[in-house]
Amino acid sequence: MIQQTVRDLARDKIAPRAAEIDRTGEFPWDVVDLFRKHDLFALPFPPEYGGLSGSALTLNLAIEEVAKACATSALILAVQALGAYPIMLAGSAEQKQRLLPDLASGKKLAAYALTEPGAGSDPAAMETRAELHDGEYVITGSKIWITDGGVADTIVIFAKTNPKERAKGVSAFVMEDAQSLKGFEANTIHGKLGIRGSNTAELRLDEVVVPAANRLGKEGEGFSIAMRVLDRSRPGVAAQAIGIAQGALDYAVGYAKERKQFGKAIGEFQGIQFMIADMEAQTAAARAMVYWASQLIDDHSPDVTHHAAIAKLLAGDAAMKVTTDAVQILGGYGYVNEYPVERMMRDAKITQIYEGTNQIQRVVIARDLLRA
Amino acid sequence: MSTEAVTAPALRHRITAFVRDFVLPNAPAMARGAGPQPKHVVEAAGEAGLAGILTPVRFGGAGGSHLDFVDFIEAVAAADASTSVILDVHVSVGTEPIIEFGTDDQKTRYLPRLASGELLAAFALTEPAGGSDAASLQTRAIHDGDEYVITGTKTFITSAGAADLYIVLARTGPGTRGISAFLVESGWRGVSAGQPFEKLGLHGSWTGELVLDSVRVPAANRLGREGAGFGAAMSALDSGRVGISAQAVGIAQGALDAAVAASRARRAAGRDVDEVALADMEAATMAARALTRHTAAMVDAAQPATLDASVAKLYATDACVAVAHAAVQICAPESTSEMHPASIRLRDAKASQIYEGTNQIQRVIIARELLR
């Protein structure tokens, strides 16, 4: 039901905007309004906080549908969930009641600030400090590659409350109305290869004050919160990736039916057929894995970490391969921005990088296997 | 006898016990071609209550679903692929067409004996001149009174020479609508089988020629309407491909388990481990499993599954060869021994890219479905 609604919305309202969003690189506030109007931000939230379902599977179906048309727009949905998950997972009843309804309605946008210039795949090496003074935390440091960091109101930030420790020294905090906080500065990063309309920012925090009431969980629990969030958000990024792959595959199939060479449609040549079949198989396999991982989240299964990492790895790699092959099937037309597949190829690349690079996913998966 | 289908947990218990008590102890001998003969395999599966896992309870089967069936085949294949191919053919293409298209009389005569393991079933479609192009088959069935007289040669028939009952596809007229299916007993005059071929792998299963020389088959043993044989065969192959996918997942898992064990030993000895290869093997195996289970669920829900079954077969069998190959590399140099678990898997895996429709034919099927 929701899948069909989102599919129609993506086709009718978002697909026509996708090329322009990519060309201008401007954050698509009209898409945010569209999501608000159709209550799509509510998907990851449970009903008691103004949400619709709270189901990861439902959310990820929606992300996939939007990503078929526009990866930038899909990321807006995914990041709203990413920024809200720490609160849902570790927030007190009071924090959830106070913070979640505005995120579920989309009145406020959320972001998740973990990565630092010197702490990417190794987040426990982070240097941002949070010091407790008279019931308030004073946070100083910098974060980078923060999606929606320059537009979000509610930003969950991870900082060391004990700099002598690695993972155990990390705590999580919620910055409300972040853009207007004293000492907070967000610099939007321009010149990205893909997802160009998405807001990606560098955050600088110079003695930003956050009330102790906005610490999520106990001091030192931040790293565990961050990792549990990634278990949930990786299938979301994977859903974005299979949406990008499916969008490119659909376009390539349509083209192969229409484009005639040597007196017949190029789809009648086995060389093209085999490419299309392999694109379908990789996309379908990644999709089956994404749905499986999403279902495990909804079932509160302990196997989520492993399955989520596999879903992310396969979906990102499939998106890159399938979009590259789609460009190939379109030939010269695939290489120019009059057609959408070169954008899809550029958009696909980030899905192998963020939410843990695919190299890190392999480490996560292999360590699980090798644990005796 | 109970009329209730065996519950899924009870079936899982039967499967675990059968693998532990029968398949695993015989696996090394099977891999040398010196294990129990196919007839003995199906008898043992019958005693375990698994030879008719898909057969309705009122005909002596377990009344299981296709999800149960893929669990069964995967678990057996992880221990020994030869045993799994014997049982997969018996249960899917050997028995299912009777369940689906048989008359009450045919069901009553054959299904209980197939489910108990008294009879071993086989499926005879392929001919020397008709492999991927199954519709070109030349075996003829001439209507003569209450009988058909069948003459022709079938090849690459799993369990040829061991089976008691063959589902034989033969021509009763021109074109694909001129193909009919017959239930042919091995003891009838004119039925003979050649010596089993010497194969690259699957040494415990028999593969060979089936020769039909003026075999008189009662009209009561025609399966389905005259001319409906090709449709029945294609329908059987949809489900058969799900079984082959499950077998591929099992082989991949067996190879991966060997690679993980070898890697743990290397690490314990302070040597480097190829984590990247292990992660990719795990990801491919898991995605193949997800696709296989997804397709089995579609078959159970009576949804059209031709595309999904082809996608699962293509992905799972390509994955299984890649995983087995990587396992041989990881387990080197011990794996260069022909009886090493990884090298056995590599030999056994290769057939899965070829039978039940080569992977090249799967790509054609998939591309045609998408390009329609």
The per-residue pLDDT for A353 is 96
CB B147 within 8 A of CB B190: no
Cross-chain residue pair B286–A307, CB shorter than 8 Å: yes
**A273 shares contact with chain B (CB less than 8 Å):** yes
* B370/A253 touch (CB, cutoff 8 Å), yes or no: yes
Q: Quote the pLDDT of residue A76.
A: 98
What confidence tens digit (pLDDT) does each residue in A215-231 have?
A: 999 999 999 999 999 99
CA distance A138 to chain B (A): 41
Chain B residue closest in CA terms to A265 = B371
User: Does A274 reach chain B within 8 Å, measured CB to CB?
Assistant: yes
Cβ–Cβ of B282/A281 closer than 8 Å?
no
The partner residues of B185 in beta bridges, in order of sequence, read B165
What is the per-residue pLDDT for A53?
85
B99/B366 Cα distance (integer angstroms): 27
DSSP-assigned letter for residue B146: T
Contact criterion met (CB < 8 Å) for A267 and B367 = yes
The strand ranges marked E within chain A are 110-113, 129-133, 136-147, 154-160, 170-175, 184-188, 200-211, 215-216, 260-261, 264-265
Residues B184 and B369: their CA atoms lie apart, in Å, by: 34
- Nearest CA to A237 out of A351, A150, A86 is that of A351
Residue contact B367–A276, C-beta within 8 A: yes
Instruction: Say what the pLDDT of residue A283 is.
Output: 98
The contacts of residue B192 (CB under 8 Å, 6+ apart) are B210, B211, B213
Task: Work out the average pLDDT over A106-126.
Answer: 95
Give the pLDDT score at A309: 98
pLDDT at site B2: 57
- Amino acid, res. B309: A
Specify the DSSP element, H or E, that contains B155.
Answer: strand B147-158
pLDDT in tens, chain B (372 residues): 456 778 889 999 999 999 999 999 999 999 999 999 999 999 999 999 999 999 999 999 999 999 999 999 999 999 999 999 999 999 999 999 999 999 999 999 999 999 999 999 999 999 998 777 878 899 999 999 999 999 999 999 999 999 999 999 999 999 989 999 999 999 999 999 999 999 999 999 999 999 999 999 999 999 999 999 999 888 888 889 999 999 999 999 999 999 999 999 999 999 999 999 999 999 999 999 999 999 999 999 999 999 999 999 999 999 999 999 999 999 999 999 999 999 999 999 999 999 988 999 999 999 999 999
User: B8 to chain A nearest CA, in Å?
Assistant: 19
The two beta strands, A200-211 and A184-188, are: antiparallel
Give me the numbers of helices (H) and strands (E) for chain A, helices first please: 11, 10
Q: Are A143 and A111 in contact (CB under 8 A)?
A: no
Nearest CA in chain A to B315: A281
Instruction: Tell me the count of A-B CB pairs closer than 8 A.
Output: 108
Judge: A285–B290 Cβ closer than 8 Å, yes or no: yes
Residue A183: the pLDDT is 98
Residue percentage of chain A with pLDDT more than 70: 100
Taking CA–CA distances from B260, the nearest residue in chain A reads A370
Nearest to A44 by CA among A34, A32, A54, A33: A54
Contacts of A305 (CB under 8 A, 6+ apart): A227, A231, A364, A368
Residue among B313, B368, B311 at smallest CA distance from A273:
B368
A124 touches chain B (CB under 8 A): no
Q: Do B283 and A365 touch (CB under 8 A)?
A: yes
Do residue A365 and residue B314 have CB atoms under 8 angstroms apart?
no
Give me the pLDDT at residue B11, please. Answer: 95
How far apart CA B353 and CA B321 sit, in angstroms, is 8
Query: By the 8 A CB rule, do B355 and B156 touch?
Result: yes
Q: What confidence category does residue A372 fall into, taking pLDDT thresholds of 50, 70 and 90?
A: low
Among A277, A291, A359, the residue with its CB nearest the CB of B314 is A277
Chain B: nearest CA to A259, how far in angstroms? 12
Q: Are B292 and B67 in contact (CB under 8 A)?
A: no
For the cut 80, the answer to whether the pLDDT of residue A41 exceeds it is: yes
State how far the Cα of A110 lies from the Cα of A45, in Å rounded to an integer: 13
Tell me the pairing of strands B147-158 and B140-144: antiparallel
- For A14-59, the DSSP string reads IHHHHHHHHHH----HHHHHHHHHTTGGGTTS-GGGT-S---HHHH
Cα separation, A150 vs A140, in Å, equals: 17
Coil, helix or strand for A133?
strand
Strands A154-160 and A110-113: parallel
Checking if the pLDDT of A12 tops 90, the result is: yes
Distance from CA of A275 to the nearest CA of B (A): 8
Residue A264, burial from CB neighbour count under 10 angstroms (0-12, 13-18, 19+): exposed
Q: Give the number of other CB atoms < 10 A from CB of residue A140.
A: 16
Tell me the residues of chain B between 292 and 351 that have a Cβ less than 8 Å away from chain A. 293-294, 308, 311, 314-315, 318
Helix (H, G, I), strand (E, B) or coil at A368: helix
Quick: pLDDT tens for A42-96: 999 999 999 998 999 999 999 999 999 999 999 999 999 999 999 999 999 999 9
Q: Which residues of B touch A270 (CB under 8 A)?
A: 364
Q: Distance (Å) from the C-alpha of residue A284 to the closest C-alpha of chain B?
A: 7
Q: Could you give the percent of chain A with pLDDT greater than 90? A: 98
Instruction: Give the residue numbers of A marked as catalytic.
Output: 355
pLDDT of residue B9: 92
Collect all residues with Cβ–Cβ distance below 8 Å to B322 and sequence separation of at least 6. B281, B284
Answer whether A367 sits within 8 Å of B287, measured CB to CB: no
Q: Is the dihedral of CA B133, B134, B135, B139 positive or negative?
A: positive
Check if B275 contacts A (Cβ < 8 Å): yes
Provide the mean pLDDT of chain A.
97
Phi and psi at residue B281, to the nearest 5°: -65, -45
pLDDT at B237: 87
CA–CA distance from A71 to each of A39, B39, B322 (Å)? Answer: 19, 56, 31
| B363–A273 C-beta distance less than 8 A | yes
Helix (H), strand (E) at residue B143: strand B140-144
Q: Which residue of B has its CA nearest to A282?
A: B315
DSSP B267-289: HHTT----HHHHHHHHHHHHHHH
Chain A contact for B257 (CB, 8 A cutoff): no
Closest CA to B60 of B78, B72, B47: B47
In chain B, which residues have their Cβ closer than 8 Å to the Cβ of A367?
275
Question: What torsion, rounded to 10 degrees, do the Cα atoms A94, A96, A101, A106 define?
Answer: 140
Here the tokens at position B168 are 């034989």
Q: How far B217 CA lies from chain A's nearest CA (Å)?
A: 41
Question: Which tokens hold the place of B17?
Answer: 């016990």
Q: Which of residues 104-123 of A touch B (CB under 8 A)?
A: none
ω before B333 within 30° of 0 (cis)? yes
Q: How far apart are CA B225 and CA A173, in angstroms?
A: 71
DSSP A12: I
B282 is catalytic: no
Q: Report the gap between the CA of A356 and the closest CA in chain B (Å).
A: 15
Query: Across the interface, do B279 and A282 touch by the CB < 8 Å criterion?
Result: no
Rg of chain B over Cα atoms, rounded to whole angstroms, equals 20
Chain B contact for A256, CB < 8 A?
yes
Main-chain dihedrals φ then ψ at residue B124, nearest 5 degrees: -115, 95
Q: Is the minimum CB–CB distance between B246 and chain A shorter than 8 Å?
A: no
Task: For residue A365, give the chain B residue with the closest CA.
Answer: B279
CB contact under 8 A, B279 and A286: no
DSSP string, A146-169: EETTTT-SEEEEEEESSTT-SGGG
Residues in A touching B360 (Cβ below 8 Å): 274
Question: Nearest residue of A to residue B313 by CA position?
Answer: A281
